[in-house]
């Protein structure tokens, strides 16, 4: 798998200076998408074995070390983990799941991750996402659109959001975030 | 602008996060039906200035289909319900009757 992998982050960029919120393009991250019956005890056991995390609540996420399991849909979760851990997560999950009707796939190359942090971080995203970001709980996951592209937002802690989108949108979303985070864009009227 | 609540993930968001899927509760005719019945199934849709039962999808969110009862003139949404419901639940019919009573 790794020899086929692009094995580089979607974007190797630094933000422009003078921003009102911190914007970062995150380095390579392991991502695994799993579909199955989230309410099934066997599913929960396999997920626990593969990630150390419990099945998240609706629109929630669970964390264990540097692994995070995100609720994506009624029958889908996404796992964020270390880049080189993803194949192992897939193998462990599929082994523990046995004959259950599930699917786990290493999709580490499919998406890009950004991080927006700072006191005004939510105001950057609020310019383009139809979400009440200020009221988002830490750990909450929200799949939505940002500007014109589909994206997921997770509030990792108080003032920090991680945004993930398809890799093909990464340049667009990066430029959009840098404009939105500009000091002028965030000045108080 | 509609504010729609997805019954699957519980999110309330504006309509740009959703995709409309047209009229709901259209039954596929049995094999051996007439050409007229098949044509009606494929092409004939209601276009009322009244309560309309529709299919919607939370396209930018959890990706799931669901049903919605909406008034096409006032844009009032009477409720959302599961995608596999063969007909609108009684609770939503009651609300419609109450809200549209003369």
ipTM: 0.87
Helix or strand holding residue B14 (H, E): strand B12-14
Q: In chain B, what is the straight-line distance between the N-terminal and C-terminal CA atoms, in Å?
A: 26
| DSSP, res B15 | G
The H-assigned helical ranges of chain A are 41-51, 86-97, 121-126, 170-180
What count of other Cβ atoms lies within 10 Å of the Cβ of residue A1? 10
Helix axes A86-97, A41-51, angle to 10 degrees: 150
State residue B55 phi and psi, 5-degree precision.
-100, 140
Topology of the domain covering A22-180: Gyrase A; domain 2 (3.30.1360)
**What pLDDT sits at residue A12?**
82
In degrees rounded to 5, what are phi and psi of residue B27? -95, 135
Rounded CA gap, B27 and B87, in Å? 11
Q: Where does the pLDDT of residue A145 fall: very low under 50, low under 70, confident under 90, or very high at 90 and above?
A: very high
What's the pTM value of the predicted model, to 2 decimals?
A: 0.90
Return the residue in B1, B3, B60 with the most chain A beta carbons within 10 A, the one to mutate for interface testing: B60
Q: What confidence score (pLDDT) does residue A10 get?
A: 75
**Contact between chains at A145 and B62 (C-beta distance less than 8 A):** no
List the single range of A2-11, A125-134, A180-189, B68-77 with lowest mean pLDDT. A2-11
Q: Which two tokens stand for residue B45?
A: 């849709």
* Token pair listed for B19: 């995709």
Cβ distance A58 to B9 less than 8 Å, yes or no, reads: yes
In terms of CA atoms, which chain B residue is nearest residue A70? B62
Which positions in chain A touch B10 (Cβ < 8 Å)? 58-59
Confidence of residue B30 (pLDDT cuts 50, 70, 90): very high
pLDDT band at A1 (very low <50, low <70, confident <90, very high): very low
Shortest CA distance to A46 belongs to which of A7, A3, A104, A4? Answer: A104
Residue B97 CA to residue B102 CA, distance in Å, equals: 10
Q: Mean of the per-residue pLDDT values for chain A?
A: 92
Q: How far is CA A31 from CA A8, A13, A85, A184, in A?
A: 14, 21, 9, 35
Which backbone phi and psi does A160 adopt, to 5 degrees?
-125, 135
Contact assessment for residue A174 and residue A13, using Cβ atoms and an 8 Å cutoff: yes
Q: What is the three-class DSSP state of A18?
A: coil
Q: What are phi and psi of A27, to 5 degrees?
A: -70, 180
Classify residue B92 by its DSSP letter. Answer: H
CA distances, B59 to each of A143, A168, B13 (Å): 10, 18, 12
Number of inter-chain CB pairs under 8 A, A vs B: 34
Residues on chain B touching A58 (C-beta within 8 angstroms): 9-10
Does domain B18-26+50-102 fall under CATH 3.30.2270.10? My reply is yes
Average pLDDT (B76-88) is 96
Chain B, residues 22-61, CB within 8 A of chain A, namely: 60-61
Q: Which residues contact A124 (CB under 8 A, 6 or more apart)?
A: A20, A21, A23, A116, A177, A180, A181, A185, A186
**CA-based nearest residue to A183, from A17, A28, A34, A24:** A17
Residue B51: CB atoms within 10 A of its CB come to 20
**3-class DSSP assignment, residue B58:** coil
């Amino acid at each position: 798998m790794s020899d086929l992998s692009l094995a580089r982050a979607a974007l190797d960029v630094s933000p422009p200076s003078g921003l009102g919120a911190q914007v970062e393009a995150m380095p390579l991250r392991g991502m695994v998408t799993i579909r199955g019956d989230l309410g099934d005890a066997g599913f929960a056991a396999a997920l626990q074995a593969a990630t150390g995390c419990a099945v998240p609540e609706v629109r929630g996420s669970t964390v264990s070390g540097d692994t995070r399991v995100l609720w994506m849909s009624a029958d889908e979760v996404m796992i964020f983990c270390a880049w080189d851990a993803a194949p192992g997560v897939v193998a462990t999950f599929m082994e523990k799941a046995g004959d259950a009707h599930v699917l786990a796939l290493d999709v580490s190359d499919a998406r890009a991750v950004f991080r927006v942090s700072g006191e005004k971080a939510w105001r950057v995203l609020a310019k383009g996402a139809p979400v009440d970001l200020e009221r988002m709980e830490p750990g909450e996951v929200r799949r939505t659109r940002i500007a014109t592209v589909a994206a997921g937002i997770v509030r990792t802690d108080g003032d920090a959001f991680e945004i993930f989108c398809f890799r093909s949108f990464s340049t667009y979303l990066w430029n959009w975030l840098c404009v939105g985070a500009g000091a002028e864009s965030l000045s108080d009227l | 602008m509609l504010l729609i609540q997805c019954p699957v993930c519980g999110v309330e968001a504006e309509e740009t996060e959703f995709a409309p899927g047209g009229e709901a509760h259209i039954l596929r005719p049995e094999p051996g039906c007439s050409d007229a019945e098949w044509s009606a199934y494929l092409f004939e849709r209601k276009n009322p200035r009244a309560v309309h039962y529709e299919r919607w999808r939370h396209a930018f969110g959890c990706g799931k289909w669901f049903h919605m009862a909406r008034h096409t003139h006032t844009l009032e949404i009477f409720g959302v319900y599961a995608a596999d419901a063969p007909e609108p639940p009684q609770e939503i019919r009651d609300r419609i009757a109450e809200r549209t009573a003369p």
